Structure 1
Amino acid sequence: MSTLQTLNLLLALSPALHIGSAGTHPATALLTAVSVTGTACALYLTAVSAYH
C-alpha cells in the first residue's frame, strides 16, 4: 500500500473509533472501528479490481 492509501485508512479509522466509543466498552469500539476500516478497504479493492 502506498502512503496515501495508508493515510486514508487511518482517517477512516479515527471517526469510526470515536463513533464506536460513545458510551461503549473500549473493545466494542475497537471492533467497530476495525470493521469499518475493513469495509472501506474491501470497497477500495473492489473498485480497483473493477477498474482494471
Structure 2
Amino acid sequence: MSTLMIVSLFLVLSCALNIAMAAGCIAKANAKSNPASILIGAGAAATALTVFFAALQAYAALSALHH
C-alpha cells in the first residue's frame, strides 16, 4: 500500500467515527438507552464504511476495464 492509500484510509475511518459519534449522540439525546445508542452509532459507521468500500470497488473495476 502506498502512503496516500494509508492516509486516505485513515481519513475514511475518521469520518466513520465522526458519523458514529454523531448518530450515537443524537440517539442518546432522543432518550435511547446507552446500549441502543452504541448500536445505532455502530450501524451508522458500518453503513458509511460500506458505502466507501463499495465505491472503492466500483472505481477499481472501472480502472481495470480501461487497462
State TM-score, norm by structure 1: 0.85
Percent of paired sites with the same residue = 19
Q: Which structure 2 segments of 5+ residues have no match?
A: 1-5, 61-67
Cα RMSD (Å) of the superposition?
1.3
> Moved runs in structure 1, 4+ residues, more than 3 A?
none
Whether 1:30 and 2:18 are equivalent positions in the alignment is no
Q: How many residues align?
A: 52
State TM-score, norm by structure 2: 0.68
Instruction: Give the structure with the larger helix fraction.
Output: 2
Q: Which structure 1 segments of 5+ residues have no match?
A: none
**Looking at CA atoms only, which structure, 1 or 2, has the larger radius of gyration?**
2
